[in-house]
Amino acid sequence: MAQDFRRIDVAAARDVMSRGETLVLDVRDPQSFARGHIEGAENASQDDMTYYLFETPKNKPVIVCCYHGNSSQSYARIFADMGFAEVYSLDGGYDAWAAAERA
Ligand SMILES: O=S(=O)([O-])[S-]
């Protein structure tokens, strides 16, 4: 049975990223991404998803980030359904990440 994705907060996302190579996929629009993003994140449109789904090793942790943590869950589910072992959706999205950075 496919693993489900997990929702994580900013602190937990930082923990995952600190463990090593993690694919952080930011699914926001390019302008928002250009204004600020999680260091090392890749900006992915819906059209880019096939590439990431097929070119990313299934054992690499994937964190999906959107604006507020809603649409990222749909993307995270796709990765989980495709057999990725560790898939996360960032709760609160980039808004929460940026707020934590400012704190
Ligand atoms: O607004 S959103 O969190 O669904 S991208």
Residue 27 in domain? yes
Is 64 a pocket residue for ligand 1 (Cβ < 6 Å)? no
Q: For residues 5 and 7, give the distance between their C-alpha atoms in angstroms, rounded to a whole number.
A: 7
Q: Which of 84, 24, 89, 25 is nearest to 59 (CA)?
A: 84
ipTM for the predicted complex comes to 0.83
Q: From atom 5 of ligand 1, which residue's Cα is the shortest distance away? A: 67
Residues 22-32: tens digit of each pLDDT: 999 999 999 99
66 among known catalytic residues: yes
| pTM, 2 dp | 0.95
CATH code at position 62: 3.40.250.10
Helical axes 10-18 vs 93-102, angle rounded to 10°: 80
Residue 55 in domain? yes
pLDDT at 5: 97
Q: What are the backbone angles phi and psi of residue 8, rounded to the nearest 5°?
A: -135, 155
Residue 92 in domain? yes
Is 69 a pocket residue for ligand 1 (Cβ < 6 Å)? yes
User: How large a percentage of the chain has pLDDT more than 70?
Assistant: 98
Spacing, Cα 71 to ligand 1 middle (Å): 5
pLDDT at 76: 98
Residue 46 in domain? yes
Residue 1 in domain? no
Residue 98 in domain? yes
Shortest-distance atom of ligand 1 to CA 68:
3
Residue 26 neighbours by CB distance under 10 Å: 25
Number of domains in the chain: 1
Q: For residues 27 and 11, give the distance between their C-alpha atoms in angstroms, rounded to a whole number.
A: 20
Domain extent for 16 = 6-102
Residue 47 in domain? yes
pLDDT at 14: 98
Shortest-distance atom of ligand 1 to CA 27:
5
Residue 1 scores a pLDDT above 60: no
Could you say which of 38, 66, 90, 96 is catalytic? 66
Residues 49-84: tens digit of each pLDDT: 999 999 999 999 999 999 999 999 999 999 999 999
